[in-house]
Amino acid sequence: MLYPLMHLTATHINYYYLCRRKLWLFHHGIHMEHNSDLVHAGKLVEEYSYARRSECNRQLALRARLDAHTQLLGVIDYFDPEARLIHETKKSNRKEEAHIAQMRFYQLLLKENGIEDCRGIIEYPLLRSSTEVPPLDATTEAQLRQELHTMAQMLRQAHCPPLLQTRWCRQCAYYDYCYIDEAEN
Ligand code: SF4
């Protein structure tokens, strides 16, 4: 079957870990993040941390093909080419699994562009902690590729996945969109 070229980004992989419905809505052009105070707070933490970053870091915009129908796109805001180190800053470590998956996505993009064995560091300045992500190995790379294929397949479906219905929904930027019917009943 002939598919139009699909673009997947680090936000896609992040949302894949958070909620498949959120991922599907985002991919199909329904964006709610601009309404969320929590998203704004996260951006402020990132901007404050970036302002203190050393000058050895570079911003990289990368692309790579996953397969004939799928292109991966990503912008790494802070990459230290000497140390082969990717920096990411997050407000809270509550969704750490998603943060690590996002970091692996950047590692795969770098690898596909000829820059291998890159480590990642996810910084949580409000918690005064950080998490190191080792370079991609064969197992984590295969797992990530499989997830990206599964994601692309899911996003080609015409129907939006069902509500997640967890306590995290209340903190999600899509909460009003998802629960509008419940609010009216
Ligand atoms: S409100 Fe819940 S179901 Fe809706 S997108 Fe957010 S996490 Fe998913």
Residue 14 corresponds to which tokens in the numbers above? 């992040």
pLDDT at 47: 64
pLDDT tens digits, 66-113: 999 999 999 998 999 999 999 998 888 888 999 999 999 999 999 999
pLDDT at residue 160 above 90?
Answer: yes
Please give the pLDDT value at position 36.
62
Give domain limits for the chain: 6-179
| Residue of 16, 17, 20, 21 to mutate, ligand 1, most atoms within 8 A of C-beta | 21
For residue 38, is pLDDT > 80?
no
Residue 153 burial (CB count, 10 A): 10
> Which residue among 174, 179, 180, 181 is best mutated to probe the pocket of ligand 1, counting the most ligand atoms within 8 A of its Cβ?
174
Which of 91-94's residues contact partners 24+ apart within 8 Å by CB, and which partners?
91/38, 91/41, 91/42, 91/45, 91/46, 91/124, 91/126, 92/124, 92/126, 92/127, 93/122, 93/124, 93/127, 93/129, 93/131
Residue with tokens 């918690």: 127
Taking residues 133-162, report their average pLDDT. 96
- At residue 180, the pLDDT reads 84
Work out the pLDDT band at 55, boundaries 50, 70, 90: confident
Helix residue ranges, H only, the chain: 10-18, 20-27, 37-51, 96-112, 138-155, 175-184
- CATH architecture, range 6-179: Alpha-Beta Complex (3.90)
- DSSP states of 92-104: -STTHHHHHHHHH
Q: Whose CA is nearest to atom 7 of ligand 1?
A: 169
Could you tell me the end-to-end alpha-carbon distance of the chain, in angstroms, rounded to an integer? 43
Q: What is the pLDDT of residue 183?
A: 56
